[in-house]
Structure 1
Amino acid sequence: MIPRVLIIAGSDSGGGAGIQADIKTVTMLGGHPMTAITALTAQNTLGVQAVMPVPAATVLAQINACLSDLGADVVKIGMIGSAEVANAVADLLDGIEMPVVFDPVMVATSGSVLADPATIAAFARLMRRASVITPNLPELAALGGEAAVLATGAALLVKGGHADGDVIEDRLIEADGTETIWTHPRLDTRHTHGTGCTLASGIATGLAAGMPLSAATGRAVAFVESALAAAPGIGQGHGPLGHALGAIPFDVVVAHAG
């Protein structure tokens, strides 16, 4: 059966991040994406101009519509929209047994804030339900650091794109303490909009296909690298990745761990 990924996240009108990046990633890696949209945003490569959260009841209705008919193998959570939605989704997931990939989106690549303090506080419940949490360095600090995140029982992928230097290090710490590190040269490009969404959705697709977490992560890291290298260069600011141009075969697992 095709890997089924239920994505709970916000919509990006510019097509670079959010639901749009998630759909492209899951599709290019061989899965079937389903969506529950948590917020509508008016944004482009220069920033976010407007955000309209979707009511929690409507978010839940989207989730239930997918699960009751199509089913799902994994849930991927991105921009959650509001504290009300975070708590409602946590309540629903408490009764469902499947892997959850949680990308704790707080700030867009452009710098626009996508989660207020109440929403970030509500992340705690989603973190306890997650199988793996994928923050960048500023998000990890806002969540209380590595020890606080690992205390939830979830695996932690520390994304290194915000660190200084010419080499990026992504570090996966699994629940049993096993650590895997991927290193790759930093690409000289401003077209990085949607990297976090793409990485998390890539991991989710791998898990939905039955891949171990480390293998799913390694393939997702490789997909992000290839999509970055193939970025079409559109927009005046932080442009989108080249998901289609950078696609790699579904059965390719890249393990360049150190």
Structure 2
Amino acid sequence: MEWPISMLRHIESAGRALSDSEATDLLSRYGVVSHEELAGFAAFVGECGTPRSAYRMVDEHHGWLNRLAALEHQAREARVYSQTLIPRFLRTSEYDAACPCPSTAGAPVTRPPVGAEHATVLLESTVLSRPVGGRHILADQLHRLLQIADRGLVHIRIVPVNAQIYAPAAPLTALVLPGDVIVCASEDGDRITYRTGPAETAGMRQFLRRAAAAALPDRASRGLLEQARDAAAAGKLPACL
């Protein structure tokens, strides 16, 4: 991309808006190629920066994971919740391949979306005992989570199954983009729904706050991860934690 360094810095800091042609050029590098996809995603990103905007968009086109990764890459903060599977960006390739909806080719895997101090993943405890791909694959995946947590890349906290927070089935993500723009996303199989604006994101943000309040501290969460990893490695079914 032959753009001046100064212009890129202004764009990254939200000090300069993208023109239609520039947005098209940038999005095409993330796998967005059709006219309909470009128009829809560019409109959504544009609405995100509008004061008091409320916008919802469903992305079900090929390459949606790459577009999600583009937003994650720009985020200053991220909070992710899942009650079913390990989030895609933390998966080993073996775990991902064994999932019901594996990531598509070229999708980001085992890559934290933002800096360590601003990324938190909340996992319902049953995720640790769901033997995706078999015990050895689960054990390797849990070991990978421990490595990521130990390096401070992401805060991984466990939400007890008896917390009664009435979690939705779909994984939820809340991102804070430059300019304090909040974008919430919910995955549903082979598509994702984006929301922005106070009215559209209020319910998801409130749920994520409740989940964070119910989650165990880092030390206790790490202990449960170790317990589940060791049980899976020994070929035992981890208890419902």
Q: Shared topology, TM-score over 0.5?
A: no
What TM-score do the two structures reach when normalised by structure 1?
0.31
Q: Which has the higher helix share?
A: 2
Higher RCO (Cα < 8 Å, 6 or more apart): 2
